[in-house]
Amino acid sequence: MGRLGRVLPVSMLAFIVYIVFTGAITVYDVVTGILVSFVIGLVTADITVSNPLKPFDVRRWIYLIFYTLYYFLVAEVRSHIDVIKRILSPRMPINPGIVKIPVRVKSDYSITAVANSITNTPGTVVVEFDESGKYFYVHWIDVKRIDEEGAYKEISHIFEKYVSKVFD
Amino acid sequence: MSSTLRNIVVIVTLTLMVVGLAVVLTVGGFGFSLPPHNVRALATIFLNTTLNLDANYRYVSAMSPEAVTAIVWDYRGLDTLFETSVMFIAIVGALAISRGATEKLLKTSPPVLGMSLITKTITRITIVMILAVGASIALHGHLTPGGGFQGGATIAVVPMLLIIIFSIYLFSKMITIYKAVTLRSVGLIGIALSSFIVLIIAALYGGSAYIFQNQPKLHSHYGLPSYAEPILLGGTLLFFNVFETLAVAFGFAALFILFTIPEDAVKSAIMGEE
């Protein structure tokens, strides 16, 4: 494994992006794509991948697909409906504020995935990440709980549960 | 009173601008201002000659479906060479003014480097994708819009992101100004060689060819392979694009490193001895 194991997943990502961006899959595209992605892999593997075993773990990919489906079909839709109701309501029922929630996932990719999951759902935005204490400061359109544990359960518990299985 | 007058002037000006722009776009878009027929004949000529497999057109065709690249690197290739050299002379000028400034002068790095962990992690993935997109633009320059300069400028986003998001202190350990300038020079030498390559091939076969020749011409039947069914190889256009990418990407990288080295670290080196 070692270095080649780190190069391979990066090269595969580069190859997929190359083919999709080109929009064609002739012999020329495949040959140049393989050459180019191998070089890109060599150059960026040390920056992009730290543990070469993780990208080859099938269970992580299954969890990732499951999490993607859950996130876009359930979590996103739910919070969109919630925010649309608040916008259309003439009373404008908002109770905005910034809460502090703990981060329980470990790796860099997990933290980023959780932060982006929180930000991408309407109504919550991560405004700051405290790297030393591992806290997110989240702006919330309707602050239901202000204690750390309660806010964690409301906002990021479900995201962290899946993300930790994908990236940790 | 005067503020009311100002508001009225602003509103009238903006309205006139929007209406004027809309009129120009609508009228122009519906074909009221197309160029006359005798001018459009030029476009017809280029579209007929840039890629034409017909034997009658063999000695005028550039064998590239992308008319802009065919014109830029074949029909007026010498012009483009000088155009490119303008930019590289500018880079040489920047390097010459700041001679003595290297990343080796960066001594102590500050304790906190770069942006937040989230930004850094996203950048770790996006640089791979940016490199792939840049390479695709460059390598398909003879087939679709794009080419060496565009691909190189896209790839140059990567050093910029790494410097701003991860900090110059880390990036200058990955690639030094010296290495970047060397790779840029490799690209420039490649461009120069590509303009002579058909002449070199012809000389090896005991014939003669033009400088900046791509496809066979009437008095010089040498040329680079341009069409292997069904792939269009583009002849010298592909080489020009590849080397231009290298030169532009690393030229920008060298400049980005140079410009982001803190002034107090290199000031004494740039000033030189009194």
State the pLDDT at residue B155.
Answer: 95
Tokens, residue B145: 């819009």
State the pLDDT at residue B184.
Answer: 92
d(CA A127, CA A113): 15
**Which residue in the set A14, A32, A108 is minimally distant from B131, CB to CB?**
A14
State the pLDDT at residue B33.
Answer: 63
State the pLDDT at residue B168.
Answer: 87
**Which residue in the set A44, A108, A126 is minimally distant from B128, CB to CB?**
A44
Answer whether residue B58 is part of any domain.
no
Cβ-count burial of A127 within 10 angstroms (0-12 exposed, 13-18 middle, 19+ buried)?
Answer: exposed
Q: 3-class SS at A98?
A: strand
Answer whether residue B89 is part of any domain.
yes
HSE-up (13 A, CA, CB side) for residue B53: 8
Phi, psi of A144, rounded to the nearest 5 degrees: -90, -40
What b/e readout covers B17-50, taking b as 16+ CB neighbours within 10 angstroms? Answer: eeeeeeeeeeeeeeeeeeeeeeeeeeeeeeeebb
How many independent structural domains does chain B possess? 1
8 A C-beta contact, residue A160 and residue A153: no
8 A C-beta contact, residue A96 and residue A138: no
Q: To the nearest whole angstrom, how far is the Cα of B31 from the nearest Cα of chain A?
A: 31
State the pLDDT at residue B1.
Answer: 59
Put simply, the answer to whether B133 touches A21 (Cβ < 8 Å) is yes
**A131: contact with B, CB 8 A cutoff:** yes
State the pLDDT at residue B147.
Answer: 86
Q: To the nearest whole angstrom, how far is the Cα of A9 from the nearest Cα of chain B?
A: 11
Answer whether residue B4 is part of any domain.
no
Write out the H or E segment, with its range, that includes residue A99. Answer: strand A97-102
State the pLDDT at residue B52.
Answer: 82
Sheet strand arrangement including A97-102: A97-102, A135-140, A124-130
What sign has the CA pseudo-torsion A50, B122, B160, A10?
Answer: positive
Q: How confident is the model at residue B151 (pLDDT cuts 50, 70, 90)?
A: very high
Answer whether residue B86 is part of any domain.
yes
Answer whether residue B111 is part of any domain.
yes
Q: Render pLDDT for B220-263 as a digit per residue (tens, 0 to 9).
A: 888 888 787 778 888 888 999 999 999 999 999 999 998 888 88
Average pLDDT, chain B: 86
Put simply, the answer to whether A18 touches B118 (Cβ < 8 Å) is no
Answer whether residue B90 is part of any domain.
yes
Q: Render pLDDT for B110-126 as a digit per residue (tens, 0 to 9).
A: 777 788 889 999 999 99
Instruction: Return the amino acid letter for A100.
Output: K
| Residue B34 pLDDT exceeds 70 | no
Going from the C-alpha of B219 to that of each of A14, B59, B60, the distances in angstroms are 44, 9, 12
**Which residue in the set B118, B132, B230 is minimally distant from A36, CB to CB?**
B132
Put simply, the answer to whether B135 touches A18 (Cβ < 8 Å) is yes
Q: To the nearest whole angstrom, how far is the Cα of A16 from the nearest Cα of chain B?
A: 9
State the pLDDT at residue A1.
Answer: 58
| Residues constituting chain B | 274
Q: How confident is the model at residue B214 (pLDDT cuts 50, 70, 90)?
A: confident
* Minimal-distance CA residue of chain B relative to A131: B117
> Which ranges of chain A have pLDDT less than 50?
none
HSE-up (13 A, CA, CB side) for residue A65: 4
8 A C-beta contact, residue A74 and residue A118: no
Cis bond upstream, residue B230 (ω within 30): yes
Answer whether residue B240 is part of any domain.
yes
Q: How confident is the model at residue B109 (pLDDT cuts 50, 70, 90)?
A: confident
Put simply, the answer to whether B122 touches A112 (Cβ < 8 Å) is yes
Going from the C-alpha of B266 to that of each of A30, A33, B100, B148, B272, the distances in angstroms are 46, 41, 8, 33, 10
State the pLDDT at residue B32.
Answer: 61
Tokens, residue B208: 């003669």
d(CA B102, CA A11): 32
Beta bridge partners of A100: A137
User: Domain span at residue B175?
Assistant: 68-271
Instruction: Return the amino acid letter for B254.
Output: A
Mean of pLDDT values over B79-98 = 89
CB-based contacts of A58: which residues, under 8 Å, 6+ apart?
none
8 A C-beta contact, residue B168 and residue B184: no
Answer whether residue B1 is part of any domain.
no
- High-pLDDT (> 90) share of chain B, %: 33
Most distant CA pair in chain B, distance: 86
Q: What is the ipTM of this complex?
A: 0.90
State the pLDDT at residue B36.
Answer: 72
CB-based contacts of B253: which residues, under 8 Å, 6+ apart?
B156, B159, B175, B180
